[in-house]
Chains A and B, each alone.
Chain A
Amino acid sequence: GAVVSQHPSRVICKSGTSVKIECRSLDFQATTMFWYRQFPKQSLMLMATSNEGSKATYEQGVEKDKFLINHASLTLSTLTVTSAHPEDSSFYICSARDWTGNQPQHFGDGTRLSIL
């Protein structure tokens, strides 16, 4: 079946650095990808919707200059956490949907980001 690959699975870095997370659809074209954030023992909160070839749509309260999203191709979207701080530590999960929009979203395995 369809697979979404997310990389890296875990990142530990110092405060002030920028971190890039990749989300790839491996066997289908994903015109739309979604980025979620999950706090410990809580649900997933949608951060932004990423459409191939256009600007991402951010949810209210999500800083677009902090969380840069690029969706340059039909199989790759990236989330860059710029100048990361400890409060950015979280589990980030991407999902992708095929161009028809008729299939459920397929999720990556998530990236655990820890900022020291």
Chain B
Amino acid sequence: GDSVTQMEGPVTLSEEAFLTINCTYTATGYPSLFWYVQYPGEGLQLLLKATKADDKGSNKGFEATYRKETTSFHLEKGSVQVSDSAVYFCALTRPMDTGRRALTFGSGTRLQVQP
């Protein structure tokens, strides 16, 4: 079945450091890929997405590129802020024609940014 593997956290960085959170996936066909962010005590917010190979999703300084050859969707940000401290989830969903539209999530990676 489908699966998403994320690097374990927590990831602790100083403010303005470069961030990479690795994500790889296993799925048949061409899934859509997402990064969601969860702030403490809240639900999930969509951060960015990519729906086909070589697409780059970007939002709020974060970006991730859909790499079909390496089945990866690593999240990056050039300069993190304290306000970026949260849990980040990589997720995928199958193409529409499979009939299954729920998201499959990775285990989540907690990011802690220190001033």
Contacts and interface: CB of A to CB of B under 8 A. Distances in A.
Given A107-B45, A109-B42, A101 B103 contact: no
A93 B101 contact: no
Contacts, number: 49
B43 A43 contact: no
B34 A34 contact: no
A43 B103 contact: no
Contacts of B103: 34, 44, 46, 95, 105
Contact of A109 (B43, B105, B107): B43
Prevailing SS type, chain A contact patch: strand
14 contacts: A41-B110, A43-B89, A43-B107, A44-B103, A102-B96, A104-B49, A105-B46, A105-B93, A107-B36, A107-B45, A108-B43, A110-B41, A110-B43, A112-B41
B43 A49 contact: no
Given A43-B105, A43-B106, A101 B89 contact: no
B96 A101 contact: yes
Interface in A46-94: 46, 49, 93
Contacts of A43: 89, 105-108
B44 interface: yes
Interface string B92-110: 0100100001111111101
Given A42-B108, A93-B43, 9 more contacts: A41-B110, A43-B105, A43-B107, A101-B96, A104-B46, A105-B93, A107-B36, A107-B44, A112-B41
